[in-house]
Amino acid sequence: MERGYVRVKLLYNTDLGALKEVMDRKGVAFDPSLVMDHVVYMFEIEDCSRVTTHQLVRHRAASYDQESQRFSAATREGVVTPPHIQSNSTALETYNQALKDVYAAYEKLVAAGVPKEDARYVLPNGIKTKIVMTISARSLMHIIWQRTALQAQWEIRELARTLQGLAAQATPELWTTVIER
């Protein structure tokens, strides 16, 4: 699912049908609130900035695997440009010049024999990255509750809404009520 900048795929989720069958065989009624910690989702998140992944990994109840900057190409096209910058021609001109200068410095460092892993220190936080996240339904709901708040930064808010949409589509029984709201 693409939403604005971020691309997200649901790679895996717990099969609620199988879970219900097991509970039924044991004579336990299915109650979504009782399985929230046992239902798991795995998402592949692409083309979000490192600004956003730094916010995301602060939620430690998930497991993450992030693309290494050591081995990925650093290109100007691989940067997220915030909407407030895109919509302001003066800001966009300043932003583009700053990126041009940063990437020129990066290339000069590499050309001077500095390893890419050290030269990357000059790269912007807006550089695009990929991350895989595995998380329980309860923890995902907590992230969504926090990161869809009006005070949340636009990119993480967009990502949280996308994650919620994919999870709700995969396991609608769990998403009729978001627990923390």
Burial, 92: exposed, middle or buried (Cβ in 10 Å; 0-12, 13-18, 19+)?
Answer: middle
Residue whose C-alpha is closest to residue 68's, from 26, 115, 129, 141: 129
Q: Which of 76, 138, 147, 161 is catalytic?
A: 147
What b/e sequence results for 66-91 when a residue is b if at least 16 CB atoms lie within 10 Å of its CB, and e otherwise? Answer: beebeeeebeeebbbebeebeeeeee
147 is catalytic: yes
Q: Which residues have a catalytic role annotated?
A: 147
